[in-house]
Amino acid sequence: MQEMQPLKVNSYLSAGEITTLLEKVEYILMASPSLMPEEHPIHFTIILNTADVIPEDVKPLILEKFCRELDITATSHVLSNRERIAFALTSQKTPMPKHIIDDAEANSIPWTLLHIIDFLGDSQGFKEAKDGLSGWSYSYN
């Protein structure tokens, strides 16, 4: 596994910039190395561009759809909920989504409420995450 340095955050998008960024976004997919590399080597986060409450019986169907389309297997430790998401400007081309858990941090940077599906899993299509790299991609509608 490669030893990589964390991305340096230059700044965060303002509330207005977040709204503009998300105008044509359907979802954002993030993949990073898991803390349980043997059983579930990849930590996935799918950020849906909605703050709507998703019914409990629909949540597993959404996860199944993504897993089928992305060939993700062995899912575990699933969180599916509306959460605070900020967007950091780094050296990368697109802003990096950041799940804001800490209330103090939420009071210091702009964020928006979006539905996330956070889980562990495996996939042959995300070799970089298995090699120790993290990344994200935006899907536009």
Average pLDDT by stretches of 10, the chain with 141 residues:
70 97 98 88 97 97 96 94 97 95 96 97 93 94 91
The pLDDT assigned to 83 comes to 98
Domain for residue 78, yes or no? yes
The pLDDT assigned to 58 comes to 97
Residues 6+ apart with CB under 8 A from 64: none
Domain for residue 6, yes or no? no
Check if the beta carbon of residue 66 is closer than 8 Å to that of residue 95. Answer: no
Domain for residue 65, yes or no? yes
Structure tokens at 17: 């910039």
The pLDDT assigned to 4 comes to 59
Q: What does the DSSP assignment read for 69-83?
A: HHT-EEEEEEEEEEE
Q: What is the tally of structural domains in the chain?
A: 1
The pLDDT assigned to 5 comes to 66
Domain for residue 18, yes or no? yes
Domain for residue 2, yes or no? no
By the 10 Å C-beta count (0-12 exposed, 13-18 middle, 19+ buried), 89 is classed as middle
The pLDDT assigned to 38 comes to 82
Read off the pTM: 0.92
The pLDDT assigned to 56 comes to 97
Q: Which of 97, 137, 118, 138 is nearest to 42 (CA)?
A: 118
The pLDDT assigned to 37 comes to 76
CA quadruple 71, 76, 82, 88: dihedral sign: negative
The pLDDT assigned to 1 comes to 47
Domain of 112?
11-140
